[in-house]
A and B are shown apart, each in its own frame.
Chain A
C-alpha cells in the first residue's frame, strides 16, 4: 500500500515539470506556426493577357512585367513563364 502511495507522489512530482515543458513546447510550436504565411500576399498567378484571336499563328509576344511569353504556331497557343526555375532570374526570349 505504501509503495503505491509513494509512486503516485512520484508520478505527480515528475508530471508537474512535464506539464511545464509540455505546454511550453505546444506554445512554442504555435508561435512557429504563426510565422508561416497562409495568405500569400502576391498577385494572382492567373493573368489576363488577351483573347486567343489577338495571337494569330506565328506571333510571339513578350509580357515583361508579367514575366510571360506567348507564342502560337501550328501546334497551338503556348504561354511560358520567363522566370528561371533554377535561381529565379528572368530568361531572355529570342
Chain B
C-alpha cells in the first residue's frame, strides 16, 4: 500500500527542477547533437543533414570527387585560405588604426611589439598570395576539365565574380600598411582607374564627361592618395568586399549541389577510382528505380539527381570532411612555415615626395604592369576587362556537350593546347625582345598622337594575334571547345610569361636587367 502511495505521490516543483538540473548536461547534449555518434551510416547521414554547417555537402559523395589528380583540392584550398585570412584579418583589426598618423605605426607595433603579431601578419600576407594563386589555379582546372559546361555555366560566372573580388580584396589590403610599397602601388592603381582620361583627353571630351576622374575620385575620395583613400580602402577591405565574397561563396557552394555535384565523366572505370575511399554497401548497387524521393512540389523538367544511383558513392561524413580538413591543415601548415621563413615586407613610411623605383605591383598584377607603360587605359583597363569578360562568357559561346571532368579527354584538345603554348610563347617573347631592344612608337616618333599608341601597342598587338590564332583554330577544327582551349591557353601563357618577365627582368625606370643583383645602386 505504502509503495503505491509513494508511486502516486506527485513530485514537488522543486524535485522536478532538481531532476532536470541533474540531467542538464545530458539534455543539453541531446538538444545540440540530436542523434547518436556517427558510427553507423544512418547516424553519419543524420549528422550531415541535421546540421546547418555540415549540410554544405549532400549526405553521400561520388567517389570520383576524391580523385586527387582531378580537382587537386584547389577549390577547397582557396576556401581554406579565405577562412584563415578572415581569422587573421579580424585579429589584425584589433590593433590596426586606419588613419594617416597611426596606420604605419600600428602595423609596426603589430610586427614588432604585439605578441604573435608578426606571425599573424605574415600568415595574412602569405594567405593572400596563396588564395589568389589557389583561385587562379582552380579556374584553370575547371576550364581544362571542361567543368564549366551545362549545367554549370552559372556557377562558372559566379566563380569569375569570386576571382575578381579576390583580386579586389588583395589590392585594397595592399594600401593599409601605408609604407612606400603600399603608397606607390596604390597611386599607380588609382591612376589606372583614372586612365580612361587618356581616351577622353585624346578625343577632347574630358570637359563633358570625365569617366576616369569619376572612377578615381570614387576610389580615393579625393584626387590624391590620402586619408580619404585609406578609410575607403579599409572599409572595402574589411567590410564591403568580404561581405560580397561570402555571399557569392555561399552561392558557389550551393550551386555545386544543385548542379548535381562535381562534374564527372559519363563512364567511370574501376581504374579511374583507384585510391579513393569505398563503401562496400553502395557497391551492392541499389537499382535507381527503388530510390525514394521526397515530394516538395510538382515542376516540369528533370532534376540532376534523377538518373544517379548510390553506386560508387561514399558517406560524406566522415570521408569528404576528412579530406577537406586535411587540405585545410595542409594549407595552414604551408602558410605558417612560409611565415617563419619570410616576413611580410614593410618599407619606410609612405613619402609622397619620393617614388619607389621601380614601384612594382603585387605579382598577380605584374603581367598587366608590363603592358601599362604604353597605354594605361589599354594595359590596365581595356585588355584585362576584355579578358575577364571573355572568360566569363566561355560557357555561353562553347556549348559543346563533350565529356566533363577529365583532363584532355581527346587527342585534339592536347594537340591544340601544345601548339597554342608554342605559338603564344613565341608571340610574347618576340614582342618583349623587340620592345626591349628597339622601343616602341614613342621612341621613334616623339610627336606621335597618344591615341595611335592607345590603339597600337604591344598589349593590343599580342591580344589581336591571340584572337586571330584562336579564330583560326575555331575555323579549321569546327569545334568551339578547341577555340576556347586556344584562347584560354593564350591567356594562361601570356599571364605566366609577362608575370615572370616583369618580376625578374624589370628594374629601376622599368629598364631591362638580367637579374635584380645588376640593378644600379642609388
Contact = CB atoms under 8 A, between A and B. Distances in A.
Given A86-B191, A87-B188, A87-B376, A41 B221 contact: yes
A88 B190 contact: yes
Given A36-B217, A41-B228, A67-B353, A88 B188 contact: yes
Given A37-B221, A86-B191, A87-B187, 10 more contacts: A36-B217, A36-B218, A37-B222, A37-B228, A41-B226, A42-B224, A87-B372, A87-B376, A89-B187, A90-B355
19 contacts: A35-B218, A36-B217, A36-B218, A37-B217, A37-B221, A37-B222, A37-B228, A40-B222, A41-B221, A42-B224, A42-B226, A86-B376, A87-B187, A87-B191, A87-B192, A88-B187, A88-B191, A89-B355, A90-B353
A54 interface: no
B223 interface: yes
Contact of A42 (B218, B223, B353): B223
Contacts of B217: 36-37, 40
B281 to A, nearest CB: 51
Contacts of A88: 187-188, 190-191
A8 interface: no
Interface string A51-80: 000000000000011010000000000000
Contacts of B188: 87-89
Interface string A32-52: 000111001110000000000
Contacts of B376: 86-87
Contacts of B214: 36
A89 B359 CA distance: 9
A37 B191 CA distance: 17
A67 B352 CA distance: 9
A87 B373 CA distance: 9
Interface string A13-37: 0000000000000000000000111
Interface in B176-216: 184, 187-188, 190-192, 214
B230 to A, nearest CB: 12
- Which 6 pairs of residues, A with B, have the shortest CB-CB distance? A88-B191, A89-B355, A88-B187, A87-B191, A87-B188, A64-B353
A41 B232 CA distance: 13
Contacts of A67: 352-353
B343 interface: no
B330 to A, nearest CB: 39
Main secondary structure of the interface of A (DSSP, over half): loop
Nearest to A43: B224
B227 interface: yes
B354 interface: yes
Interface of A: 35-37, 40-42, 64-65, 67, 86-90
Contacts of A40: 217, 222-223
A65 B353 contact: yes
A68 to B, nearest CB: 11
Contacts of B184: 89
B219 to A, nearest CB: 10
A4 B354 CA distance: 75
A69 to B, nearest CB: 13
A64 B354 CA distance: 9
A67 B192 CA distance: 20
B353 A41 contact: no
Contacts of A86: 191, 373, 376
A50 to B, nearest CB: 19
B495 to A, nearest CB: 21
Interface in B206-263: 214, 217-218, 221-224, 226-228
Contacts of B191: 86-88
Contacts of A87: 187-188, 191-192, 372, 376
A28 to B, nearest CB: 15
B170 to A, nearest CB: 19
Contacts of B357: 89
Contacts of A90: 353-355
Contacts of B372: 87
A34 to B, nearest CB: 11
Nearest to B217: A37
A14 B217 CA distance: 39
Contacts of B224: 42
Contacts of A36: 214, 217-218
Nearest to A63: B353
A42 to B, nearest CB: 5
Nearest to B232: A35
Contacts of B352: 67
Nearest to B226: A42
Nearest to B359: A89
B190 to A, nearest CB: 7
Nearest to A65: B353
Nearest to B214: A36
A42 B359 contact: no
In this complex, which of B190, B192, B352 has the most chain A Cβ atoms within 10 angstroms of its Cβ?
B352
B41 to A, nearest CB: 48
Contacts of A37: 217-218, 221-222, 228
